[in-house]
Amino acid sequence: MFRGSMTALVTPFKNGAVDEAGFAQLVERQIASGTHGMVPVGTTGETPTLTVEERRRVIKLCVQVSAGRVPVIAGTGANVTAASIEAQDYAKQVGADAGLVVTPYYNKPSQAGLAAHFKAIADAVALPIFVYNIPGRSIVDISNATMAEIASHPNVIGVKDATGDIQRVTQYRLGIGEDFVQLSGEDASALGYNVHGGHGAISVTSNVAPELCSKFQTACLEGKWDEARALNDKLQPLHEAMFSAPSPAPAKYALSLLGLCEPDVRLPLVECPDGVKAKVRSAMEGCDLL
């Protein structure tokens, strides 16, 4: 169920508000392009700048528009355990298939605190959890031993790994098991991640190039590594362009070139500088998107 290209959806804005019609159009485009799953209100969805009500609305809208055609992993993480439980419960109520729970940011909890945090959420709500480990943003890193402890809970089914440490794929398989779903959180290293045994990626680039990303992940799942490598070569400049400025500004600019949303991001993020815009446009041309 949770395999392949999972798009970390942007949250489009218009006149300062969430563009619900534009968001629905983006979801439909993703499904039509072969994307395997949706991830609303994650980092790429600018969750820190959304109100609680906006987050809920976007999750509900994603579930409604997807209508069971692909799984929805809703961003439900917070640095307050009680708030994450509330978000996870809401995601379950509206029909999301799982929650993506990020490591608590700013608090800098210990390994014992991390384990207690995820176990509390898993105990409170009967909805599958993907643990989102991204020390570059949250400072804390989940050790392999702590991940194994967290994964022992039946409601914890997988990880979104944005550590860049590809050897963890093998370490998790050996320490946790083959059924633990491992999704890369980094587009540029997703090929290597999958070769080591990963099951796909939660992707930023797939906002812009959903069909290419889907084909790439499908090739990986089918063990067609020559095809996957060729697709990855084509996508690499676009992966790099997506992070040439704080994400998701480059992705939103790219989508604006396709007429799919405004380039607007919320402060403290700002739109891409001209040099990044040129890089994004060039990479899109290289992928035959423009």
Check residue 177 and give its pLDDT.
Answer: 97
Q: Catalytic residue among 92, 160, 277, 279, which? A: 160
Secondary structure of 139-154 in HEC code, one letter for each residue: CCCCCHHHHHHHHCCC
- CA distances (Å), origin 197, targets 7, 152, 177, 191, 192: 20, 20, 11, 10, 9
**Number of helices and strands in the chain (H, E):** 12, 10
Q: Catalytic residue among 90, 132, 172, 253, which? A: 132
- 132 catalytic per annotation: yes
Q: CA 75, CA 132: separation in Å to the nearest integer?
A: 10
Residues 6 or more apart whose Cβ sits within 8 Å of residue 139: 105, 106, 108
β-sheet bridge partners, residue 4: 200
Do β-strands 73-75 and 37-39 pair in parallel, antiparallel, or remain unpaired?
Answer: unpaired
Domain coordinates in residue numbering, the chain: 4-224
**Tokens 């105990």, residue located:** 123
Check residue 68 and give its pLDDT.
Answer: 97
CATH no., domain 4-224: 3.20.20.70
- What are the residue ranges in the chain where pLDDT is below 50? none
β-sheet bridge partners, residue 38: 7, 72
Q: Tokens in use for 78?
A: 């917070």
- 160 catalytic per annotation: yes
pTM reported for the whole predicted model: 0.97
